[in-house]
Amino acid sequence: MILSSDEAPLLEHSLAAAVGEQFDEGLVIDNASSDATAALASRHGVPRLRLERRLPYTEAMNAGLRSVEGDAIAMLQADTFITPGYREACLRALWQSGVGAVAPKLLRATGPRPEDRLEAIDAAGMWVDRRRKNGLAGHGRRELHFHRAGEVFGADGAAAVYRRETLEDCAVLDQVFDENMPGWACDADLAWRARLFGWRAWYAPDAVVHHIRRYSPSTRTGMSAADRRTQFRNRYLMIVKNDSPSDLLRDLGPLLLYELLAAGYALLRERELLGGYREAAARLPEARKRRRVVQARRRVRRVPFGMQPPSD
């Protein structure tokens, strides 16, 4: 399924590439678009789910997930352009024992055309480190790196393939993506939850996707203050929901040091981030309600923070 929010010029390319892979079922999630999204879906013979108002990523993806069937679910965005062999490579990795999600090799691009492609990695899966910061494995490295498959912490939300069984297992209060934390890091939250419930994620370098990254460590300065504050806030909500006292105690040193540095940075450099504390506090009761569900269903004792695939 592909999410499009007034992105028809990009969807024209990403949808054609997806149709060429002959997925068993397709779906365009039309996020209240006023452009040619509907016409493109019709031209390619792909069903369209029309959302009458613009929804955050979490709500739009949950709506799409309720509308598709199949044992494996491919999640794409209008700015992701898969290459031939993507479907086969992802499914081959997905059906390994215990694997619930596949992270493809995302390569950076500035547009949908071949001449827009950069010889740099966008993401080779994602990691969450001992400070509970999520990041993109391999971001900015040369394309020839990260060519070996291996286990990763999770799959980046730009492009991923999940087992349906995993998504159903990870749903909390009937939501796969937590609608209490819209915006950045909701994919890291899902990856963390899947880990807690005993699922593994696998990096498949032969599943290649070209991606126009709007937010990354290398483009952060171009993001709005609201988006940077959202990421700041959502990290705390992830911790409240998913962390355990034993894991927190184990990593207390790195966590306390990071919190001091983060607060100092916000005070001195980006005061707009301070509102993230207030926003996190406002969403805390809902996060605690979800925590009770997550911790009651937890199946692993320790989380492998910092896990990344082989770099060479």
Domain limits of the chain?
A: 2-211, 220-296
312 pLDDT above the threshold of 80 = no
Beta bridge partners of 74: 161
Output the pLDDT for position 217: 64
216 pLDDT above the threshold of 90 = no
Q: Does domain 2-211 have CATH number 3.40.50.1000?
A: no
Closest by alpha carbon to 75, among 179, 169, 167?
167
Question: Among 48-57, 74-83, 163-172, 207-216, which stretch is predicted with the lowest mean pLDDT?
Answer: 207-216
pLDDT per position as a tens digit, 251-308? 999 999 999 999 999 999 899 999 999 999 999 999 999 999 999 999 998 898 988 8
Average pLDDT over residues 139-164: 95
Sequence-ordered strand ranges (E) for 5-159: 28-31, 48-51, 72-77, 80-82, 99-109, 117-123, 126-128, 134-136, 150-152
- Of the pLDDT bands very low, low, confident and very high (cuts 50, 70, 90), residue 225 is confident
- Of the pLDDT bands very low, low, confident and very high (cuts 50, 70, 90), residue 24 is confident
Count of helix runs (H) and strand runs (E) in the chain: 11, 12
181 and 95 in contact (C-beta within 8 Å)? Answer: no
The rounded mean pLDDT for the chain is 94
List phi, psi (to 5°) of 237.
-65, -35
129 pLDDT above the threshold of 90 = yes
221 pLDDT above the threshold of 80 = no
Output the pLDDT for position 218: 63
220 pLDDT above the threshold of 80 = no
124 pLDDT above the threshold of 80 = yes
150 pLDDT above the threshold of 90 = yes
- Of the pLDDT bands very low, low, confident and very high (cuts 50, 70, 90), residue 227 is confident
- Of the pLDDT bands very low, low, confident and very high (cuts 50, 70, 90), residue 219 is low
pLDDT per position as a tens digit, 51-102? 999 999 999 999 999 999 999 999 999 999 999 999 999 999 999 999 999 9
Non-local (6+) Cβ contacts of 88 within 8 A are none
